Amino acid sequence: MLRPNAMKARLAAGERLVGMWVQSGSPVAAEIAARAGFDVVLIDLEHGHGDLDQLVHMIRAVQTTPATAMVRVPGKDPFILGRVLDAGAEAVLVPLVEDAREAARVAAFCRYPPRGVRGYAWPVIRQSGYGLYPERFARADEELVVAVQIETRGAVAEAAAIAALADIDLVFLGPMDLAGSLGHPGDPAHREVTQLIRTVEREVLDSGTPLGTIPRPDADAATLFARGYRFVVAASDVVLLATGARQIREQLQPALGGGNGA
């Protein structure tokens, strides 16, 4: 359902925002994240377990709160982007964008003509209240955050050009995939990786375009905000459940005795 985009307004005002991944595909987890006070709930369709049918319910759950419903799409397909936006996503995060040309194409897929090439179905989609709010169409392009991920060596070289695009609202640095693309999988603190991260930080921050990322071993959320990042996704529902479950099980082990039963 189209409403004023709090994420976009707050980024424009220079505020810092904290997000949480929802990778379980659960509307309950999405609602909990939103009600816990996270500014943005980032529903992950790239590596998460949800699908387009569950997505609508997750977006609905988030939109019962002031939090913004953001979706990481599973690629750059214009029809997937269109369906995600039709479902009511207020922000999209597009992975593995390699250069400014590709970023511009992604932005065009997300906006209606003449600004873009998004297919028109306003009278029947959830974003318009299933056609009950025709007057809101005039705001559809503006009430949207389009974010792209930089996560390869080639994309780093294009960081300044990507950040300069008027229709890209946020550049998101993916340190884990960047590390893998450089031959250092699982090691985003490797010197070669951190050097390229610094390049992205310099190029994007100099452009004035908001920069986002996730915490990594050499930089927690507070450190990232201090460096100028404006959006940090600081938690994951799957990680919280997995680590919490393991901790409880380990705490109970002395009372159980013997093996761990695995």
Examine the residue annotation and report whether 47 is marked as an active-site residue of this protein.
yes
What's the DSSP call for residue 119?
P
User: CA 173, CA 149: separation in Å to the nearest integer?
Assistant: 6
Find, among 160, 150, 167, the residue nearest to 107 by Cα.
167
Helical segments of the chain, H only = 6-12, 27-35, 52-62, 78-86, 100-109, 153-157, 159-163, 175-181, 191-207, 221-227, 237-256
User: CA 259, CA 188: separation in Å to the nearest integer?
Assistant: 35
Q: Give me 218's structure tokens.
A: 């050499």
Q: Which of 47, 49, 184, 190 is catalytic?
A: 47
Find, among 165, 142, 12, the residue nearest to 90 by Cα.
142
Write phi, then psi, for 159 (nearest 5 degrees). -55, -45
Q: Give me 10's structure tokens.
A: 């707050």
Q: Which residues are annotated as catalytic?
A: 47
